[in-house]
Structure 1
Amino acid sequence: MTTGTIVTPTNVLVLGPVDRHKAGVYMCKAINHGMTHSRNISTRIIVNYGPDSVNVNVSSKFNVTEGHVAPRITCTTSCWPECAYTWRNATSGATMATSRVLDLGHVNRYMTATYTCKASNNDISLHKETNITMNVYYGPDRVHVSQPSEFIVTEGQLAPNITCKGDCLPECLYSWTNLTSGTTVALRESLVLGHSNRYMAGVYMCKANNAATCRNVNGSTRMFVIYGPDSLNFNVPRQYTVTEGEVVPTVTCSADCWPGCTYTWRNMTYGDTLPNTGMLTLGRVNKYAAGEYSCDAYNNGNGLKKSTSIRIIVNYASIDSHQQTIFISAVTGGCGACIVILIAVVCCCRRYRHRCTRTGQQNESAIIRKDTAASHFSNAETITNAEHTYTGLQRDQQNVRVVEYQNVTVEPTDHDYEQLDDDLYVNQLSIS
C-alpha cells in the first residue's frame, strides 16, 4: 500500500467509488499461523483524473513596458496521467508554446494580447483552460497635430480647433502651451482658441506624456493672425513748421500690421503720388513744399487701408514791391557785347506775372521768355538778382549802352501775372 495502512483484514478488498486518493499499490498477505508461513501478492490501482483547474504563476492581467523582457509564465494543473499543455494567443489564434512554460522574451506593442493555457488529459478526454492578459505599455513615439506647421487666420475670425494625438498605451495625457507667451492654454487633446486676435499669434506646442513609460514627445504649429492697420504714426508732429531753406527731417509713416503694410505718400496740395515707401523725404525746402501730405497704409493680407495726413508749414520772408530798385548796367567788348544769364524778379505769390512801371525820363521795354537765353534776342535784356538790386544789359547795334533805372515801382496787371522765385525766369517785364 502506498500509505502502509491496513485497509481490510479479509481476503476481499472493497474500495467502493474511487478517487485519485485511492490510487496506489495494494498488497494482500496470506499467513499460515500453524506453519508460520506467509505469502504476499500486490496490485496497483491507477486512477485517471484531472485536470480540475489550471493555474499560472502571474496575475491574470499584468503589464510590461515595450522593450523589456516579459516574465516566464508557467501553467500548472493536477492530472493523471500528466496533462499536455498548449499556449496560444487568444487574440490572433496563433500557437505560442506546447509546454507548460510560455517564454515571450523582449516584448513590443504588438504582443499585447490575451494568452490561453490549455491543459489536456487525453486518456479521459478532459481539458481545462485559463487566460492571462498582457498589456505592453508603449509610446508616445511622436504626435500628430491636425494643423500644418504654419497656418494663417484673419483677426476676428474663428481659429480652427487644433487636435494633438499620440500613439500611447495607456492613453497619453496632453497639454498645450503658447510658447510665445509661455502660458499653458489647454490640458486636453484639443485646443479651442475661438475668435482670434493679434495677441493670439504664436507657436502652440502640444506635449503628449505617458507616465507608465516615462516618455513624452512634443508637436507644434504656428498661427499667424492678419491684422491692421488700425492707426498711422509719424515721427514728427502732425503739423510741422519749418523755415524756408531749412532741411525737413525724413518723415516716417508707420502702422502696426501683419503682414507688413505697404505705404504710399500723396501730396494733397498738388495731387502728386510719391514713391511707395514709409518715408517722406523733402530735404531742404522752399515755400512751395508747404502743404498737406497724406500717407496711405495698405494691408494686402486683409485688404484694409488707412490714411492719415501731415501738414508742412514753411515760413518765408516776403518782399515789399514798392521798395524795389532796379539798376541796369552794361559791359562793352572789342567785338561785341557779353550777355549775362537771366535769373529773377521777386514777387509775393507763386507763378504770377508782374508789370514793372518806371517813373523817370527813360522809356525802355523788353520781352524775355521763360527758359530762353538772352543771347537769342537781337535787343536782349537779362535780369539777375543780387539781394533785391537788379541790373540789366541792353544791346543796341554794335555798341552796348548802359541804362540805369531808379525810383521803380512794381504794379500787377489785371490777373495777368506769375509768381517768380529767385531762381526762376521772368515771363513778362514791362518797364515804362
Structure 2
Amino acid sequence: MIRENYEMAKKAYEKWGINVDEVLETLKKVPISIHCWQGDDISGFEVNQRELSGGIDVTGNYPGKATNPEELRKDLDKALSLIPGRHRVNLHAIYAETDGVVVDRNEIEPKHFENWVKWAQERGLGLDFNPTLFSHEKAEVGLTLSHPDEEIRQFWIEHCIASRKIGEYFGEELGSPSLTNIWIPDGYKDIPSDRLTPRKRLKESLDEIFAVEIDEAHNIDAVESKLFGIGSEAFVVGSHEFYLGYALKNNKLCLLDTGHFHPTETVSNKISSMLLFSEKLALHVSRPVRWDSDHVVTLDDELREIALEIVRNDALDRVMIGLDFFDASINRVAAWTIGTRNMIKALLYALLTPNEYMKQLQEDGNYTERLALIEEFKTYPFGAVWDYYCYMMNVPVKEAWLNEIKTYENTILSKRNIAATLLKP
C-alpha cells in the first residue's frame, strides 16, 4: 500500500515536472545537526556540575533523563534509528568526558571527546561543537567575552580557542568539517549607560580567538546573536547587527537561531538577503512560543517557509541546518524524533514544490495563480511521499515510531528513574 500510494503521488507531482525519485535522492544527502542537549536538559557531565544559568531555562521533569555520556549516546542511537537519513550530532563543551578529573573549561582538549568521536565514526556521523559560556562561576554576572575584568575575559577566550581546536579534531577524524559556533549570554537586565564599550571588548575577544589559526578544511567558525534573554532583557552585547557585521568582515558564518528575534521577525525572510553576501550561513531551528522558549519543532508555517527559502534558492549546500530545542516535559527521545522528522518533512515539502514555476508567476505578475497554487499544494499527496521515504530508509512509517519509543521508555528510561531514586541518600 505504501508503494502504491507513492506511485500515485508521483504522477500528481510529475504533472508539474517534479521528479520525485530524484527529490528523495537529494533529501538523503541533507544532514541535520541534532543537538545533544535535548537528551539531558543541558546539564552536561562535568565533574563539578553547576546549576543551569545564562538566561537558559528548561521546564519539566519527565522520567528517563540521561545521566551520563553512555546513556545519552544510547538515547541518540534510538532517536537516530527512527529518523530517516544520515545526520550529525551537535555537542556542547560541557559534554566532555574527563574520567572523574576536574577539568575547567579553558583546559578541555580533544582527548576529552575521544569517546564521542569513536561513537560517531562507528555510525558515519559528523560532529559539531559549541563552547559553553554559561552555567559557570565565571559567568555568574551574565558577562563573559565582554566582561570588564580582563582575567575573566581571558578565561573565556582560552575556552573558545580550545573549543575551536576540538572542532578541528572532529573534522579531521571524521572527514567532515565541524561547525564550531560561539554564543554568549552577555548583556544587562536594565538599560545600559554604555553600549559601545562592552561591544568593543567582545570584538577584541573574538579577534583574539580567531587569531589562532585553525584548518578551515576541518573546522568552520560561526557566531550566534540574540535579541534578549533572562537577565539581559534591556541589552545584549552580541546583537544580530553586531554579529552580522563581524561575520561578514571576518569571513565567519553568521548563525541564525529562529527564537532569537522579535516575535514577528522571521528567520525565513533573512535567508535570501544573507545568501547574497555570504557564501554560507548556519541555522539553529527552534520553535519560539512567546519568544525564545525552545519548544520542539513542529511542521508549522515558518518551518515550511525556512525550508522553501533554502530549496528555492538552491542553497541546500550553503545552509548548515541544526536544531536547538529542549523540552523536559515530554519523552526526550520522542522530542528529538518529532523535531528532526519535522525538519526533514519541511525540506521534502519544499523539494516537492514547483519553485521555478512559482517564481515565474511572480515575475509575470500573476499573483492569482501563484496564490492558488501555493494553497493547492498544501493538500497534494506529500504524506504518501514521506511515508515511502521512511519505508525506503528503513525507519518506522507514520506514527509507528511511537510504539518503539514506548517500548524504549518501559525497558530503559523508566529504570533510570527508579535507579536514581534508589541512589538518593
Q: TM-score, normalising length from structure 1?
A: 0.13
Relative contact order, CA 8 A, sep 6+: which one is greater? 2
Greater helix share, structure number: 2
Greater strand share, structure number: 1
Q: TM-score, normalising length from structure 2?
A: 0.13
Which structure: larger Rg?
A: 1
